[in-house]
Amino acid sequence: MVKAIRIVGEKILLLDQRLLPTQIQYVECSNWHDVAQAIKKMVVRGAPAIGAAAAFGMALAATALKKSTQKQFLAGLAEAAEGLKSTRPTAVNLMWAVERMLNVARTQQGKTTEEWENILWAEAEKIASEDIAVNKKLSALGAELIPQQARILTHCNAGALATVGYGTALGIIRRAVEQNKEISVFAGETRPYLQGARLTTWEMMQDNIPVTLIADNMAGFLMQQRQVDLVIVGADRIAANGDVANKIGTYSLAVLAKAHQIPFYVAAPISTFDFTLQDGGQIPIEERDEAELTHFAGTRIAPDGVCCYNPAFDITPAALITAIITEIGVVRQPTRESLMHLQEGLQYGV
Ligand code: MRU
Protein backbone atom coordinates (compact mmCIF):
# COMPACT_ATOMS: atom_id res chain seq x y z
CA MET A 1 0.00 0.00 0.00
CA VAL A 2 1.27 3.46 -0.88
CA LYS A 3 2.00 5.46 2.28
CA ALA A 4 0.38 8.85 2.91
CA ILE A 5 3.42 10.09 4.87
CA ARG A 6 7.08 9.23 4.27
CA ILE A 7 10.19 10.54 5.99
CA VAL A 8 13.36 10.88 3.97
CA GLY A 9 16.24 12.37 5.96
CA GLU A 10 14.96 15.66 7.33
CA LYS A 11 12.22 16.00 4.74
CA ILE A 12 8.59 14.95 4.93
CA LEU A 13 7.04 13.53 1.80
CA LEU A 14 3.25 13.73 1.66
CA LEU A 15 1.34 11.73 -0.92
CA ASP A 16 -0.60 14.26 -2.98
CA GLN A 17 -4.12 12.90 -2.44
CA ARG A 18 -5.58 15.59 -4.72
CA LEU A 19 -4.11 13.69 -7.68
CA LEU A 20 -5.33 10.20 -6.78
CA PRO A 21 -6.29 7.85 -8.30
CA THR A 22 -4.68 8.92 -11.58
CA GLN A 23 -1.23 10.01 -10.35
CA ILE A 24 1.01 8.95 -7.50
CA GLN A 25 3.15 11.92 -6.55
CA TYR A 26 4.63 13.16 -3.30
CA VAL A 27 4.89 16.77 -2.15
CA GLU A 28 8.17 17.52 -0.40
CA CYS A 29 8.00 19.53 2.83
CA SER A 30 11.22 20.95 4.27
CA ASN A 31 9.74 23.30 6.89
CA TRP A 32 6.57 23.62 8.95
CA HIS A 33 5.08 26.17 6.56
CA ASP A 34 5.19 23.58 3.76
CA VAL A 35 3.39 21.08 6.00
CA ALA A 36 0.75 23.67 6.98
CA GLN A 37 0.13 24.47 3.31
CA ALA A 38 -0.14 20.77 2.47
CA ILE A 39 -2.77 20.26 5.18
CA LYS A 40 -4.70 23.36 4.13
CA LYS A 41 -4.64 22.41 0.45
CA MET A 42 -5.73 18.80 1.16
CA VAL A 43 -2.50 17.18 -0.06
CA VAL A 44 -2.82 15.21 3.16
CA ARG A 45 -6.25 14.72 4.72
CA GLY A 46 -8.07 12.46 7.16
CA ALA A 47 -7.95 13.21 10.88
CA PRO A 48 -5.11 10.91 12.04
CA ALA A 49 -2.96 11.62 8.96
CA ILE A 50 -3.32 15.37 9.50
CA GLY A 51 -2.27 14.91 13.14
CA ALA A 52 0.83 12.89 12.25
CA ALA A 53 1.80 15.27 9.44
CA ALA A 54 1.50 18.22 11.84
CA ALA A 55 3.70 16.41 14.39
CA PHE A 56 6.40 16.13 11.70
CA GLY A 57 5.80 19.81 10.90
CA MET A 58 6.68 20.54 14.53
CA ALA A 59 9.82 18.40 14.20
CA LEU A 60 10.82 20.39 11.11
CA ALA A 61 10.30 23.60 13.10
CA ALA A 62 12.61 22.19 15.79
CA THR A 63 15.29 21.54 13.18
CA ALA A 64 15.07 25.14 11.95
CA LEU A 65 15.34 26.37 15.54
CA LYS A 66 18.10 24.13 16.86
CA LYS A 67 20.79 26.84 16.78
CA SER A 68 18.64 29.39 18.63
CA THR A 69 18.37 30.11 22.36
CA GLN A 70 15.91 28.11 24.44
CA LYS A 71 13.60 31.11 24.67
CA GLN A 72 13.66 31.61 20.90
CA PHE A 73 13.20 27.88 20.39
CA LEU A 74 10.05 27.73 22.50
CA ALA A 75 8.68 30.92 20.92
CA GLY A 76 9.36 29.58 17.42
CA LEU A 77 7.80 26.25 18.28
CA ALA A 78 4.69 27.98 19.66
CA GLU A 79 4.41 29.96 16.42
CA ALA A 80 4.64 26.76 14.36
CA ALA A 81 2.02 25.17 16.63
CA GLU A 82 -0.43 28.02 16.02
CA GLY A 83 0.25 27.99 12.29
CA LEU A 84 -0.32 24.25 12.00
CA LYS A 85 -3.42 24.20 14.22
CA SER A 86 -5.06 26.98 12.22
CA THR A 87 -5.03 24.99 8.95
CA ARG A 88 -8.21 22.96 9.47
CA PRO A 89 -10.66 23.42 12.35
CA THR A 90 -12.68 20.21 12.72
CA ALA A 91 -10.35 17.21 13.10
CA VAL A 92 -9.14 17.35 16.70
CA ASN A 93 -6.25 14.94 16.07
CA LEU A 94 -4.44 17.94 14.60
CA MET A 95 -4.67 19.93 17.86
CA TRP A 96 -3.95 16.77 19.89
CA ALA A 97 -0.71 15.97 18.02
CA VAL A 98 0.57 19.56 18.03
CA GLU A 99 -0.15 19.96 21.77
CA ARG A 100 1.60 16.66 22.47
CA MET A 101 4.70 17.91 20.62
CA LEU A 102 4.63 21.22 22.50
CA ASN A 103 4.31 19.48 25.84
CA VAL A 104 7.31 17.29 25.13
CA ALA A 105 9.46 20.36 24.58
CA ARG A 106 8.03 22.17 27.61
CA THR A 107 8.72 19.24 29.95
CA GLN A 108 12.36 18.84 28.86
CA GLN A 109 13.58 22.12 30.31
CA GLY A 110 17.10 20.94 31.28
CA LYS A 111 18.06 20.02 27.70
CA THR A 112 19.91 21.91 24.96
CA THR A 113 18.01 23.02 21.86
CA GLU A 114 19.87 20.38 19.83
CA GLU A 115 18.67 17.73 22.24
CA TRP A 116 15.16 19.18 21.93
CA GLU A 117 15.35 18.74 18.19
CA ASN A 118 16.15 15.01 18.57
CA ILE A 119 13.44 14.58 21.19
CA LEU A 120 10.82 16.20 18.96
CA TRP A 121 11.72 14.06 15.94
CA ALA A 122 11.53 10.97 18.13
CA GLU A 123 8.11 12.06 19.42
CA ALA A 124 6.78 12.61 15.89
CA GLU A 125 8.03 9.13 14.90
CA LYS A 126 6.29 7.78 17.99
CA ILE A 127 2.99 9.46 17.08
CA ALA A 128 3.25 7.93 13.60
CA SER A 129 4.07 4.40 14.73
CA GLU A 130 1.48 4.52 17.52
CA ASP A 131 -1.15 5.47 14.95
CA ILE A 132 -0.60 2.27 12.99
CA ALA A 133 -0.61 0.16 16.16
CA VAL A 134 -3.79 1.85 17.40
CA ASN A 135 -5.54 1.29 14.07
CA LYS A 136 -4.66 -2.38 14.16
CA LYS A 137 -6.00 -2.70 17.70
CA LEU A 138 -9.29 -0.99 16.98
CA SER A 139 -9.59 -2.93 13.73
CA ALA A 140 -9.24 -6.23 15.57
CA LEU A 141 -11.94 -5.17 18.04
CA GLY A 142 -14.17 -3.88 15.25
CA ALA A 143 -13.77 -7.01 13.12
CA GLU A 144 -15.42 -9.00 15.92
CA LEU A 145 -18.63 -7.12 15.14
CA ILE A 146 -18.57 -8.06 11.46
CA PRO A 147 -20.53 -11.19 10.50
CA GLN A 148 -19.01 -13.94 8.32
CA GLN A 149 -20.67 -12.36 5.27
CA ALA A 150 -21.23 -8.63 5.14
CA ARG A 151 -21.99 -5.90 2.65
CA ILE A 152 -20.57 -2.78 4.25
CA LEU A 153 -21.33 0.81 3.33
CA THR A 154 -18.64 3.37 4.14
CA HIS A 155 -18.37 7.11 3.57
CA CYS A 156 -15.46 9.39 2.70
CA ASN A 157 -12.07 7.72 3.22
CA ALA A 158 -11.12 6.42 6.65
CA GLY A 159 -8.40 4.13 5.41
CA ALA A 160 -4.62 3.90 5.18
CA LEU A 161 -4.64 7.14 3.20
CA ALA A 162 -6.40 8.99 6.04
CA THR A 163 -4.02 7.64 8.69
CA VAL A 164 -0.36 6.70 8.91
CA GLY A 165 -1.33 3.19 7.86
CA TYR A 166 -4.01 0.46 7.91
CA GLY A 167 -6.94 2.78 8.56
CA THR A 168 -9.86 2.94 10.99
CA ALA A 169 -13.16 2.12 9.23
CA LEU A 170 -11.25 0.53 6.34
CA GLY A 171 -8.86 -1.08 8.85
CA ILE A 172 -11.81 -2.99 10.30
CA ILE A 173 -12.78 -4.08 6.80
CA ARG A 174 -9.16 -5.15 6.12
CA ARG A 175 -9.05 -7.14 9.35
CA ALA A 176 -12.36 -8.87 8.58
CA VAL A 177 -11.01 -9.82 5.12
CA GLU A 178 -7.80 -11.13 6.73
CA GLN A 179 -10.07 -13.35 8.85
CA ASN A 180 -11.44 -14.80 5.59
CA LYS A 181 -14.83 -13.19 6.02
CA GLU A 182 -16.80 -12.60 2.85
CA ILE A 183 -16.80 -8.83 2.67
CA SER A 184 -17.91 -6.43 0.00
CA VAL A 185 -17.86 -2.68 0.29
CA PHE A 186 -20.12 0.06 -1.01
CA ALA A 187 -18.19 3.34 -1.22
CA GLY A 188 -20.33 6.48 -1.30
CA GLU A 189 -18.67 8.94 -3.66
CA THR A 190 -18.67 11.71 -0.98
CA ARG A 191 -19.62 14.87 -2.82
CA PRO A 192 -18.22 17.40 -3.21
CA TYR A 193 -14.57 16.40 -2.65
CA LEU A 194 -15.08 12.78 -3.77
CA GLN A 195 -12.86 11.07 -1.20
CA GLY A 196 -15.03 7.96 -1.57
CA ALA A 197 -14.89 7.82 -5.37
CA ARG A 198 -11.23 8.78 -5.68
CA LEU A 199 -9.59 7.32 -2.58
CA THR A 200 -11.68 4.58 -0.91
CA THR A 201 -12.37 2.69 -4.15
CA TRP A 202 -8.68 2.94 -5.09
CA GLU A 203 -7.50 1.82 -1.66
CA MET A 204 -9.86 -1.17 -1.62
CA MET A 205 -8.91 -2.16 -5.16
CA GLN A 206 -5.21 -2.07 -4.23
CA ASP A 207 -5.99 -4.75 -1.64
CA ASN A 208 -8.34 -6.72 -3.93
CA ILE A 209 -11.29 -6.07 -1.62
CA PRO A 210 -14.54 -6.06 -3.63
CA VAL A 211 -15.82 -2.50 -3.79
CA THR A 212 -18.78 -0.91 -5.56
CA LEU A 213 -18.96 2.84 -6.07
CA ILE A 214 -22.32 4.55 -5.53
CA ALA A 215 -23.41 8.17 -5.66
CA ASP A 216 -24.28 9.45 -2.17
CA ASN A 217 -28.00 9.72 -2.97
CA MET A 218 -28.24 5.99 -3.72
CA ALA A 219 -27.65 4.85 -0.15
CA GLY A 220 -31.34 4.95 0.88
CA PHE A 221 -32.42 2.86 -2.09
CA LEU A 222 -29.71 0.26 -1.37
CA MET A 223 -30.79 0.02 2.26
CA GLN A 224 -34.44 -0.30 1.27
CA GLN A 225 -33.46 -3.13 -1.08
CA ARG A 226 -31.67 -4.85 1.87
CA GLN A 227 -28.32 -4.62 0.09
CA VAL A 228 -26.44 -3.12 3.05
CA ASP A 229 -25.76 -5.13 6.24
CA LEU A 230 -23.94 -2.44 8.18
CA VAL A 231 -22.34 0.99 7.92
CA ILE A 232 -18.86 1.90 9.22
CA VAL A 233 -17.41 5.39 9.10
CA GLY A 234 -14.49 7.22 10.68
CA ALA A 235 -14.62 10.41 12.76
CA ASP A 236 -12.95 13.80 12.93
CA ARG A 237 -14.00 14.71 16.47
CA ILE A 238 -16.18 13.02 19.08
CA ALA A 239 -17.72 15.10 21.88
CA ALA A 240 -18.08 13.94 25.51
CA ASN A 241 -21.68 12.78 24.90
CA GLY A 242 -20.74 10.64 21.87
CA ASP A 243 -21.90 13.02 19.12
CA VAL A 244 -19.62 12.51 16.12
CA ALA A 245 -18.30 15.00 13.57
CA ASN A 246 -17.40 13.29 10.32
CA LYS A 247 -17.48 14.04 6.60
CA ILE A 248 -20.63 15.78 5.37
CA GLY A 249 -23.24 13.16 4.52
CA THR A 250 -22.46 10.93 7.50
CA TYR A 251 -25.50 12.16 9.42
CA SER A 252 -27.83 11.36 6.50
CA LEU A 253 -26.44 7.81 6.39
CA ALA A 254 -26.95 7.41 10.15
CA VAL A 255 -30.60 8.51 9.86
CA LEU A 256 -31.14 6.13 6.95
CA ALA A 257 -29.45 3.28 8.82
CA LYS A 258 -31.70 3.87 11.85
CA ALA A 259 -34.83 3.91 9.64
CA HIS A 260 -33.80 0.57 8.12
CA GLN A 261 -32.55 -1.01 11.39
CA ILE A 262 -29.03 -1.35 10.03
CA PRO A 263 -26.09 -1.13 12.50
CA PHE A 264 -24.16 2.13 12.25
CA TYR A 265 -20.59 1.96 13.57
CA VAL A 266 -18.02 4.72 14.09
CA ALA A 267 -14.34 3.74 14.24
CA ALA A 268 -11.88 6.19 15.78
CA PRO A 269 -8.78 6.31 17.96
CA ILE A 270 -8.94 7.92 21.40
CA SER A 271 -7.04 10.91 19.95
CA THR A 272 -10.26 11.79 18.07
CA PHE A 273 -12.23 12.35 21.31
CA ASP A 274 -12.59 15.86 22.63
CA PHE A 275 -13.84 15.45 26.18
CA THR A 276 -13.75 19.24 26.66
CA LEU A 277 -16.83 19.59 24.44
CA GLN A 278 -20.18 18.68 25.98
CA ASP A 279 -21.89 17.86 22.72
CA GLY A 280 -21.54 17.93 18.95
CA GLY A 281 -23.06 21.42 18.70
CA GLN A 282 -19.77 22.80 20.03
CA ILE A 283 -17.63 21.19 17.34
CA PRO A 284 -16.38 23.77 14.80
CA ILE A 285 -17.44 22.84 11.28
CA GLU A 286 -15.12 23.77 8.44
CA GLU A 287 -16.69 25.59 5.50
CA ARG A 288 -14.88 25.14 2.22
CA ASP A 289 -14.57 27.04 -1.03
CA GLU A 290 -17.74 27.27 -3.10
CA ALA A 291 -15.74 26.22 -6.19
CA GLU A 292 -16.00 22.64 -4.86
CA LEU A 293 -19.74 22.90 -5.59
CA THR A 294 -19.79 25.10 -8.66
CA HIS A 295 -17.05 23.23 -10.54
CA PHE A 296 -16.45 19.60 -11.37
CA ALA A 297 -12.93 18.59 -12.45
CA GLY A 298 -12.23 22.19 -13.38
CA THR A 299 -15.44 22.70 -15.39
CA ARG A 300 -18.19 25.00 -14.20
CA ILE A 301 -21.42 23.08 -13.52
CA ALA A 302 -23.48 25.73 -11.71
CA PRO A 303 -24.41 29.23 -12.86
CA ASP A 304 -21.84 31.95 -12.29
CA GLY A 305 -22.79 33.92 -9.17
CA VAL A 306 -25.01 31.21 -7.63
CA CYS A 307 -25.21 31.32 -3.84
CA CYS A 308 -23.41 28.31 -2.25
CA TYR A 309 -23.02 26.70 1.14
CA ASN A 310 -20.28 24.12 1.58
CA PRO A 311 -19.91 22.69 5.12
CA ALA A 312 -17.27 19.93 5.03
CA PHE A 313 -18.51 17.98 8.07
CA ASP A 314 -21.74 17.21 9.90
CA ILE A 315 -22.68 15.97 13.35
CA THR A 316 -24.20 12.57 13.94
CA PRO A 317 -26.02 12.46 17.29
CA ALA A 318 -24.87 9.66 19.61
CA ALA A 319 -28.41 8.23 19.65
CA LEU A 320 -28.02 7.13 16.03
CA ILE A 321 -24.75 5.27 16.65
CA THR A 322 -24.78 1.52 17.37
CA ALA A 323 -21.22 1.56 18.72
CA ILE A 324 -18.02 3.58 18.73
CA ILE A 325 -15.01 1.35 18.16
CA THR A 326 -11.74 2.53 19.74
CA GLU A 327 -8.39 0.88 20.44
CA ILE A 328 -9.25 0.46 24.12
CA GLY A 329 -12.75 -0.88 23.72
CA VAL A 330 -16.07 -0.83 21.94
CA VAL A 331 -18.67 1.51 23.41
CA ARG A 332 -22.15 0.32 22.47
CA GLN A 333 -24.95 2.88 22.34
CA PRO A 334 -22.56 5.64 23.43
CA THR A 335 -23.73 8.05 26.09
CA ARG A 336 -22.02 10.66 28.25
CA GLU A 337 -21.87 8.07 31.06
CA SER A 338 -20.39 5.23 29.03
CA LEU A 339 -17.80 7.57 27.51
CA MET A 340 -16.94 8.86 30.98
CA HIS A 341 -16.03 5.27 31.89
CA LEU A 342 -13.88 5.10 28.78
CA GLN A 343 -12.13 8.32 29.81
CA GLU A 344 -11.63 7.01 33.36
CA GLY A 345 -10.14 3.84 31.91
CA LEU A 346 -7.77 6.04 29.94
CA GLN A 347 -6.68 7.89 33.06
CA TYR A 348 -5.94 4.60 34.77
CA GLY A 349 -3.99 3.38 31.76
CA VAL A 350 -6.46 0.76 30.47
O1 MRU B 1 -11.91 16.42 4.62
P2 MRU B 1 -11.20 15.15 4.92
O3 MRU B 1 -10.92 14.30 3.73
O4 MRU B 1 -9.96 15.37 5.78
O5 MRU B 1 -12.23 14.35 5.83
C6 MRU B 1 -11.89 13.08 6.30
C7 MRU B 1 -12.98 12.40 7.04
O8 MRU B 1 -14.04 12.95 7.26
C9 MRU B 1 -12.68 11.04 7.58
O10 MRU B 1 -13.83 10.26 7.61
C11 MRU B 1 -12.16 11.18 9.02
O12 MRU B 1 -11.09 12.08 9.08
C13 MRU B 1 -11.72 9.87 9.58
S14 MRU B 1 -10.16 9.34 8.88
C15 MRU B 1 -9.68 7.93 9.67
pLDDT in tens, 276-325: 999 999 999 999 999 999 999 899 999 999 999 999 999 999 999 999 99
pLDDT reported for residue 32: 98
CA of 162 from ligand 1 middle (Å) equals 6
Percent of the chain with pLDDT over 70: 99
Instruction: Give all strands (DSSP E) within 195-307, no chain letters.
Output: 211-214, 230-233, 237-239, 244-247, 264-267, 273-274, 295-296, 299-300
Number of helices (H) and strands (E) in the chain: give both, helices first: 12, 16
Residues in contact with ligand 1 (CB, 6 Å cut-off): 45-48, 91, 156, 158, 162-163, 168, 195, 234-236, 246-247, 312
Check residue 121 and give its pLDDT.
98
pLDDT of residue 264: 99
Asked if omega into 21 is within 30° of 0 (cis), the reply is yes
> Which residue minimizes the CA distance to atom 15 of ligand 1?
158
What's the CA-to-centroid distance between 115 and ligand 1, angstroms? 34
236 catalytically annotated:
yes
Q: What is the pLDDT of residue 343?
A: 85
In which residue ranges of the chain is CATH 3.40.50.10470 found? 137-347
What pTM, to 2 d.p., does this model score? Answer: 0.97
pLDDT of residue 108: 82
Instruction: Delimit the CATH 1.20.120.420 region(s) of the chain.
Output: 5-132
* pLDDT at 241 > cutoff 70: yes
Banded model confidence at residue 67, pLDDT cuts 50, 70, 90: very high
pLDDT digits (tens, 9 = 90+) for 254-270: 999 999 999 999 999 99
* Number of neighbours of residue 162 by Cβ within 10 angstroms: 30
Mean pLDDT of the chain: 97
| pLDDT value, residue 349 | 64
Q: Does domain 137-347 have CATH number 3.40.920.10?
A: no
pLDDT band at 350 (very low <50, low <70, confident <90, very high): low
Confirm if 274 and 239 have CB atoms less than 8 A apart: yes
pLDDT of amino acid 142: 98
Classify strands 313-316 and 244-247 as parallel, antiparallel or unpaired: antiparallel
Mean pLDDT of 181-209: 98
Question: Looking at per-residue confidence, does 51 or 345 come out higher?
Answer: 51
pLDDT > 90: percent of the chain: 95
- Verify cis geometry, omega within 30 degrees of 0, for the bond prior to 192: yes
Predicted local confidence at residue 239, as pLDDT? 98
| Overall fold of domain 5-132 | Four Helix Bundle (Hemerythrin (Met), subunit A) (1.20.120)
How would residue 1 be classed by pLDDT, with cut points 50, 70 and 90? confident
